[in-house]
């Protein structure tokens, strides 16, 4: 699980080479419930991309940075 810290990181400008991940994929990697992930996104603790339909996606580089900070291998 991610430590009790703010999950924001400074991430370089994103291009098309930084794929988006679904909440389910990110939640599995961070070992949290998708509802918790959504709560973090709404509070600004983790950066997300809002799609026109209201769904959220997360940039792979942001998730990798969080995992690196938490000391977890992002496989």
Supply the CATH number for residue 46's domain. 1.10.1660.10
- On whether residue 56 sits in a domain, the answer given is yes
Residue 46 lies in a domain: yes
pLDDT tens digits, 4-24 = 444 444 444 455 689 999 999
Residue 54 within a domain: yes
Using a pLDDT cut of 70, give the percent of the chain over it: 73
pLDDT band at 51 (very low <50, low <70, confident <90, very high): very high
Domain count, the chain: 1
Residue 51 lies in a domain: yes
pTM above 0.85, yes or no: no
48 pLDDT higher than 80: yes
Indicate the burial class of 25 (C-beta count within 10 angstroms; 0-12, 13-18, 19 or more).
middle
Task: Find out whether 67 and 30 touch, Cβ atoms under 8 Å.
Answer: yes
pLDDT of residue 1: 47
**Domain extent for 39:** 20-70
């Amino acid at each position: 699980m991610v430590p009790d810290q703010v999950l924001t990181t400074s991430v370089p400008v994103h291009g098309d080479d930084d794929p988006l991940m679904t909440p389910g994929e990110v939640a599995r990697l961070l070992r949290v419930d998708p509802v918790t992930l959504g709560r973090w996104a709404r509070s600004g603790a983790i950066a997300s991309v809002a799609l026109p339909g209201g769904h959220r996606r997360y940039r792979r580089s942001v998730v990798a940075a969080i995992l690196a900070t938490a000391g977890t291998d992002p496989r």
